[in-house]
A and B are shown apart, each in its own frame.
Chain A
């Protein structure tokens, strides 16, 4: 059968990535699965990568391509920050990402969501899909798991959310995508960026809600078999 373990298949982060603005900053979210064909090469990857103190990027597509783009952007931004004398803006960061994606479009296969906070425009999210288009959006979704989230966001996204509402939305969204996308899985990581700084969070499966047809997890079938089922006449 094709599709068996092909260790030479490129490491691809199937992925679900999400970025949402709220009044005061942004929340970025991602799953943690990196697959090589059908094998899960890393079940706890960190797909939300720092570019500067105040700007992070969510990576999807080819693991190698997204890592190298992030590394180049971080390198150029570092020099830019020194020259400018103050933190880089989110817009400049996103544009650097765009330049690399666009000018190497025939070689790269990576979709990115750039999110951060700066003192001029506050929280911003920029989507940079395959090909190097740049699109500023109130929220962005990407990766293979995002297919399952278009309807969800159409219904659940609202203008002017609080930080906690935005984080809950991101957590719920990534968790829903993980439930249906075989290429997404593992834990949900979120990064909140605002004027006060950056907060990283980590949500394993047991801290996420159960969706349709999902069951409460147990240590073993033996625990279920040995627990007495209540008989009908028990008070």
Chain B
């Protein structure tokens, strides 16, 4: 007589966000994501904010099911609230938030009811820069640059080639934009409306959304079948 709600588990995602890309730079962390929420193959929502600050020291970026991301934000709100209530001068840093989220994601996976997301966590606390990732099956790690979804295949190679310890803000932004542009060309679920955010020891800024110019002015594009002899 098991009346356990078998229906209450995420079997497949409905509204999904695509890749998030992030890197460490001289003063902190830079993170970028587009504002698309796809409903299957339909580009249904074009103003979804997938980069959110958490507490004073952390930035969270999410890809995957948007409703699960919104639920995670609620959990984190509660976590930060309880942390503030101690009023002991200490506050949760990015490492701690990452650790918390890893436990949440892994435990949900063990119950066969995952939060269908890949999360990127970045921040700076006491001069220490931190950038990590955790996904729906609980895989987690930290690195100098991370990406989710197709970003792993398309953006990480660019970052491996061009990232260095001492990137300025401008260099970091240009590098992220290069990655986002490739994703725009080659990821079906990408949308041309991008948000970049930065977090440093002092503050966290989520910049206003903008669009990237794309390049189509190649003679090979205008006439792809020029070399083919017809009839």
Which A residues have a C-beta under 8 Å from some C-beta of B?
A: 1, 4-5, 14, 32-33, 35, 38-40, 43-46, 50, 52, 74, 78, 144, 148, 179-183, 185-187, 202, 204-206, 212-222, 224-225
Contacts and interface: CB of A to CB of B under 8 A. Distances in A.
B217 interface: yes
Contacts of B174: 220, 222
Contact of B185 (A4, A40, A222): A40
Contacts of A5: 150, 153
B78 to A, nearest CB: 27
A95 B162 CA distance: 55
Nearest to A46: B224
Nearest to A205: B214
Contact of A217 (B187, B208, B213, B225): B213
Contact of A50 (B46, B149, B207, B230): B230
29 contacts: A1-B149, A4-B149, A5-B150, A38-B188, A38-B189, A39-B150, A45-B224, A50-B230, A179-B43, A181-B41, A181-B42, A181-B43, A182-B43, A186-B216, A202-B222, A204-B214, A205-B214, A206-B213, A212-B46, A213-B46, A214-B192, A216-B211, A217-B192, A217-B213, A218-B210, A218-B211, A218-B213, A219-B213, A220-B212
B2 interface: no
B83 interface: no
Interface string B199-219: 000000001111111101110
Contacts of A144: 41
Contact of A213 (B41, B170, B193): B193
Given A74-B231, A187-B221, A221-B207, A204 B216 contact: yes
A212 B208 CA distance: 17
Contacts of A32: 221
Contacts of B43: 179-182
A22 B79 CA distance: 64
Contact of A215 (B188, B189, B211, B225): B211
Contacts of B213: 206, 217-219
B231 A38 contact: no
A216 to B, nearest CB: 6
A120 B151 CA distance: 54
Interface residues of B, number: 45
B177 A220 contact: yes
B196 interface: yes
B85 interface: no
A222 B160 CA distance: 23
Contacts of A220: 173-174, 177, 212
Contact of B231 (A39, A78, A219): A78
Contact of A225 (B189, B193, B207, B231): B207
Given A44-B224, A181-B43, A217-B211, A187 B189 contact: no
Contacts of B149: 1, 4
Nearest to B218: A44
B216 A213 contact: no
A57 to B, nearest CB: 13
B47 interface: yes
A19 to B, nearest CB: 19
B203 to A, nearest CB: 15
Contacts of A206: 213
Contacts of B118: 1
B211 A44 contact: no
